[in-house]
Each structure stands twice: as structure tokens, then as C-alpha cells.
């Protein structure tokens, strides 16, 4: 039974990261009102979580592999619990922001180690499918976060962070399956992760996630400003993105096993760009909700493909390599509010069209065309 629970925690960690990062997306006006700042200022709490999360992941996977995956992840969950409790109790926006920084920092030491552990026990021919399941849990976190945030805001937005604290405490107490740790002769090195193919794949992750999942807050702004939706309804609309990922991630992973990562990136980038344009320009709540739902499917093509490419490449430091790619991915998510909130103030439509164009053009150009099954194209 304990082994099964530990296996569940392996996937549950994929849920926690996107959940903790996105839980504020649908309740920014409520956070601002409670803590005395504007909704635009409250949107910086997204960056406060995601920027240190992304920055530390440049080397957190390598350090965690050196220190021991199980030990590192359990300590990180303990810190995450404490930071989430601080968000619940935060009396000022400054304290809330510091707690969000600590949350993001702690989570940077879980995601890459969980993915590397999963890859270590999965045959390469089925790696895409396994990562698709992991991606489904990440999508579940993305899906549940705005809905839980919106529902909590009907009573008190702080309740959402109480949920996060409980989840982190439970997963830390259960722990992970104990993998075979690398010996002294194979100590992971950061330079083994900072190769040109890994960095190029990271750029694709940055573009893909920044222009898809990173636009959650813009969709929430548009849902309120144009259609006047309530917090709960905004949360339901945003949840569609994650639900699409949940129901399609495994199938997408199987497709990547067959067609390779490069073709999957092209599919995800082009379809995602078209759907983001629809979400940001069509004056219909139904089109907004449907477009954002389908964009969640496109995001899975990008997300699972970049993970499969780097973990299926046989890199010497797999924990460090996937950590670098995830750092780029969440940098896109962290930078999106900073880059696009001013654009939204100038032209709401342009704040959607600009990242869509960048995704469609730049992501396929940056993706390495390596050969193989999950690791590239045939």
C-alpha cells in the first residue's frame, strides 16, 4: 500500500506545481481588494511564484540528483507547506509576495526530479505515453486551480492556499519510491545539461508555455472586462484548458511516440496560435470557452513533446537536462504577465495576437530535428 501511495505522489507532484502557480489567476481582483492593491499589481503574484521557480530550475535538478531525489523532494514539500500557510495568514501584499516567492522556490526542487524518476523506470518506446500521463496530472492542476480559486473567493480566497498547504503536507509525509541514486563516479554535472539541443528545446518550451498556459490571466481579464463573468464563472472558463489536457495528454503522448517530438511541436504551435487568436478576438463567451478548451490540447503537444525530446535523448544528466527545459518553460509563464499586461492595457486583442504569431513562427524554427522515437522525429 505504501508503495502505491508513493507512486501516486510521483504523479501528484505534477499536479501541485501548476495548481500552486495558477490558483490566483481567477481571483486577482479579490486578492487586490483584500490586500489593498490593483488587479494588475495582484497579477505580479503570478510572476512572484513562477520566476524563482523557473530560475532555480536551471540547476535544481542537478543539485537534487546529487543530494538524493527522495530527500530533496520531501524537504521541498515541507518548505512548500510552510509558504502556503504563510499565504493563508498574510496580513499585507508584501508578505503575500514573499510567501509566493518561497512557494515557487520550493517547487523548483520537485518537478524535474519527479520527471527524471519517471523516465528512469519507463522503456523509451513508451516514454511519450508515460509523460503524457504525467502531463495529464499537470493539466489537472492547471484545470483545478482557477476553479478552486474562484470557488474559494466566494467565501475567502485564502482558503485556496489552505488546500495547497494540506496537499503539500500529505505528499511530503508519504514520500517517494526510493530510486537507485547515482554513485560518486557519475555525479551529475550542470554542464552536461547545458548542451545546445537542450537549450534549444528550452526555448521552445518558453515560447510554447508562455503563449498558451501563460495566458490564463489574460483570459480571466477578458472574461471580466468584456463579458462581466463572476469569479466562479471565470474559474470554470479557465478550467477548460486543463480539462482538455487531462483527457488528451495520454493520447498525445502516444502520438508523440509514433511521430516524434518535432512534428508534435509543429502541430501544437500552429493549432495553438490559431486558437489563442480566436480566444482574444471573437466577441462570444461560447467561442472564448471553446477556444480555450481546445488550446489546452495544443499545449499538451508542446509540453509532452519537449519533455520526451530531452528525456528520450539519453542525456548523461537527465535530471539536470529536464530541469533546464522546465526552467525555460516556466520562465515563459512567469514573464507573460510582465510582458503582456501593458499590451492588454493598450490593445486587448494585440495581447493575444502577438504571442500567437511568435508561437507559430519561432517554436518550429527553434526545435532541434533529432531522430528517434520519443526523442525526435523519424
Highest average pLDDT, of 148-162, 240-254, 345-359, comes from 345-359
Q: What is the mean pLDDT of residues 123-136?
A: 78
Query: pLDDT above 70 covers what percent of the chain?
Result: 91
b/e map 5-41, b = 16+ CB within 10 Å: bbeebbbbbbbbbbbbbbbbbbbbbbbbebbebebbb
Q: Which pLDDT does position 53 carry in this prediction?
A: 82
Q: Which residue has the higher pLDDT, 69 or 30?
A: 30
Q: What is the mean pLDDT of residues 360-365?
A: 92
Please state which of the ranges 106-120, 156-170, 268-282 shows the lowest mean pLDDT.
Answer: 106-120
Q: Which pLDDT does position 231 carry in this prediction?
A: 79
Q: What is the mean pLDDT of residues 267-291?
A: 93
Query: pLDDT above 90 covers what percent of the chain?
Result: 24
Query: What's phi and psi for 260, nearest 5 deg?
Result: 95, 160
Q: What is the rounded average pLDDT for all residues in the chain?
A: 83
pLDDT greater than 60 at residue 372: no
User: Do the Cβ atoms of 86 and 180 come closer than 8 Å?
Assistant: no
Q: Is 159 exposed, middle or buried (0-12, 13-18, 19+ CB in 10 A)?
A: middle
Q: Which residue has the higher pLDDT, 190 or 131?
A: 131
Q: Which pLDDT does position 315 carry in this prediction?
A: 64
What does the alpha-carbon distance between residue 348 and residue 221 come to, in Å, rounded to a whole number?
9
pLDDT tens-digit readout, 285-336: 999 999 999 998 898 899 888 888 887 766 667 778 888 888 888 778 778 8
pLDDT tens-digit readout, 158-198: 988 988 898 888 888 887 666 554 444 467 677 777 788 88
Q: What is the mean pLDDT of residues 46-62?
A: 83
User: Do the Cβ atoms of 114 and 10 come closer than 8 Å?
Assistant: yes
Q: Which pLDDT does position 276 carry in this prediction?
A: 94
- Which residue shows C-alpha cell 486578492? 31
Q: Which pLDDT does position 374 carry in this prediction?
A: 47
Q: What is the mean pLDDT of residues 103-110?
A: 90
| Beta carbons within 8 Å of 334's beta carbon, 6+ residues apart | 46, 47, 49, 50, 51, 53, 54, 214
Q: Which pLDDT does position 185 carry in this prediction?
A: 46
* Position 1 confidence tier, pLDDT thresholds 50, 70, 90: low
Nearest C-alpha neighbor of 220 from the set 200, 201, 236, 207: 236
- Cα distances (angstroms) measured from residue 155 to each of 166, 257, 302: 18, 45, 36
Q: Is the pTM of this model over 0.75?
A: no
pLDDT greater than 80 at residue 152: yes
* Position 270 confidence tier, pLDDT thresholds 50, 70, 90: very high
Amino acid at each position: 500500500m505504501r508503495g502505491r501511495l508513493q507512486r501516486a505522489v510521483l504523479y501528484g507532484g505534477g499536479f501541485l506545481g501548476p495548481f500552486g502557480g495558477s490558483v490566483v489567476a481567477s481571483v486577482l481582483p479579490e486578492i487586490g481588494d483584500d490586500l489593498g492593491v490593483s488587479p494588475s499589481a495582484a497579477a505580479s503574484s503570478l510572476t512572484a511564484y513562477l520566476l524563482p521557480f523557473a530560475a532555480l530550475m536551471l540547476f535544481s535538478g542537478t543539485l537534487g540528483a546529487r543530494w538524493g531525489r527522495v530527500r530533496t523532494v520531501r524537504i521541498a514539500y515541507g518548505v512548500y507547506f510552510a509558504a502556503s500557510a504563510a499565504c493563508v495568514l498574510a496580513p499585507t501584499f508584501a508578505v503575500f509576495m514573499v510567501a509566493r516567492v518561497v512557494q515557487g522556490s520550493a517547487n523548483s526542487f520537485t518537478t524535474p526530479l519527479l520527471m527524471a524518476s519517471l523516465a528512469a523506470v519507463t522503456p523509451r518506446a513508451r516514454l511519450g505515453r508515460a509523460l503524457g500521463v504525467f502531463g495529464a496530472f499537470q493539466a489537472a492542476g492547471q484545470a483545478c486551480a482557477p476553479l478552486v480559486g474562484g470557488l474559494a473567493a466566494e467565501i475567502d480566497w485564502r482558503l485556496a492556499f489552505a488546500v495547497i498547504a494540506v496537499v503539500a503536507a500529505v505528499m511530503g509525509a508519504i514520500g517517494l519510491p526510493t530510486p537507485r541514486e547515482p554513485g560518486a563516479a557519475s555525479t551529475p554535472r550542470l554542464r552536461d545539461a547545458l548542451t545546445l539541443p537542450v537549450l534549444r528545446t528550452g526555448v521552445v518550451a518558453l515560447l510554447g508555455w508562455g503563449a498558451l498556459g501563460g495566458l490564463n490571466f489574460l483570459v480571466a481579464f477578458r472574461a471580466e472586462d468584456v463579458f462581466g463573468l463572476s469569479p466562479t464563472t471565470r474559474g470554470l472558463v479557465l478550467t477548460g484548458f486543463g480539462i482538455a489536457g487531462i483527457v488528451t495528454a495520454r493520447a498525445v503522448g502516444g502520438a508523440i511516440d509514433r511521430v516524434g517530438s518535432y512534428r508534435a511541436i509543429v502541430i501544437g504551435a500552429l493549432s495553438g496560435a490559431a486558437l489563442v487568436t480566436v480566444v482574444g478576438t471573437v466577441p462570444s463567451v461560447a467561442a472564448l470557452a471553446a477556444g480555450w478548451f481546445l488550446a489546452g490540447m495544443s499545449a499538451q503537444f508542446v509540453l509532452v513533446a519537449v519533455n520526451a525530446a530531452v528525456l528520450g535523448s539519453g542525456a548523461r544528466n537527465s535530471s539536470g537536462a529536464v530541469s533546464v527545459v522546465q526552467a525555460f518553460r516556466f520562465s515563459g509563464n512567469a514573464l507573460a504577465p510582465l510582458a503582456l499586461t501593458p499590451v492588454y492595457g493598450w490593445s486587448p486583442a494585440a495581447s493575444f495576437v502577438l504571442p500567437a504569431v511568435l508561437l507559430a513562427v519561432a517554436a518550429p524554427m527553434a526545435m532541434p530535428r533529432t531522430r528517434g522515437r520519443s526523442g525526435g522525429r523519424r
